[in-house]
A and B are shown apart, each in its own frame.
Chain A
């Protein structure tokens, strides 16, 4: 009996750890994040990179080149590369190593990508796309890429890396096959891919949102930052930029990790409201913004100034309440671009080496138009998904048929 007691104790300890660890840990969490201290305003966030900050800050103001009505084909400050060596006729087989479809943003993009695939199959550019989903695990994705290299019979590789450093050697192996490699969303530490497609980036998001809040708040006002999880570069960059600007403007900013769980978000806001006034809410993703806004309603307080995302639930709540908000965008339409790049590469057309897509926040004046354009879409849909001209629009996105 005494022994079973010990076993029970150990089990509980483990279960407790799993439960509590499970709330926020994620395979994407990279070692640096574990040691990250929430920086007091004066110290530097280790994710902060002044050069990248300046680059993205400048890119926000550049007028992108390319067709104005097709932002997924636009590019900013591009250095074009010649792809004539890959020029070849006939439909090609694409192999896609996807990091995951574990959040609404990736799911929306994945749906759009598949509809783009249908269009390109019809156009005869792509024969088929074989996809492997790494489910947020580096090891799985490395195995996926190696499988594609050895047995996939691929004409072209598309890789959406799970994490930057871990995926670099596998991407290099894919490049060594001599076939074109296209990387999008998160990056890798090698320039061997033909093109690396991504929106401007996290620092631009942080600058857009922080400037919006600073503009509307006084020094000394308090902003609560709701972050999903630590350690993912695109999310860390958003906060690193915003944190720096808040500190410079004398705004008191505290952050919490929420796991995008609305119950957790509501608890956090309730606690902050119990401690004192909250003037602004900053979110590193719009998922869960509604719960944050409702916490103010339940407490009988005025709405704070808030930055969310172009996610429909936030846009709808923003519209219904008339609060002062901004919908920053991490351009979801980038999921179309890799397939269109395949078409260009095999046609021998030049493509940008680093394909920086535009990333423009939704402001109050445009809100109505985006709501109208996305009428009937589910809450987890992203307004700037960019699939309006694809087959299956709008039913596929409305039904959210994930392939």
Chain B
């Protein structure tokens, strides 16, 4: 269970024994499978929440681990392996967005609220009969706000880190986060 914010991510004992990472880096596929099993849910979770698309998230999760297999020899152990892998997952999701050209215009505007209508506009009420749960509400956030919310409030990244990842300012990240929280509140109180 994910019970921590970013500030604790690096200390959560999610890492498999170091020997598995080292063995995987040396080409041991069985060790790599153990690494995968130990980290798969976490990677999948961030892919789902960042992309807002479970089917795509499964493909992205596979991409993340293929990339991890390629890049493991470059892992120097300067950070926890889970932190390294997590950042790799974020990058894969963000690169996928760029590659596919999704939401390009929204991202170019960065902090603008142009995408608010997509999920929370008056014409697009959430299609949930009962009170929406937070997971569903997150999925319906506008992409820009969703990414910042996931990275900050779920994954625990700092605004400076988010700004670097997303190519926005730290102030822009804060603004998107505030907006995301208010939109979630609105959705959850319906």
A binds B: no
Binding site for A on B (CB under 8 A): none
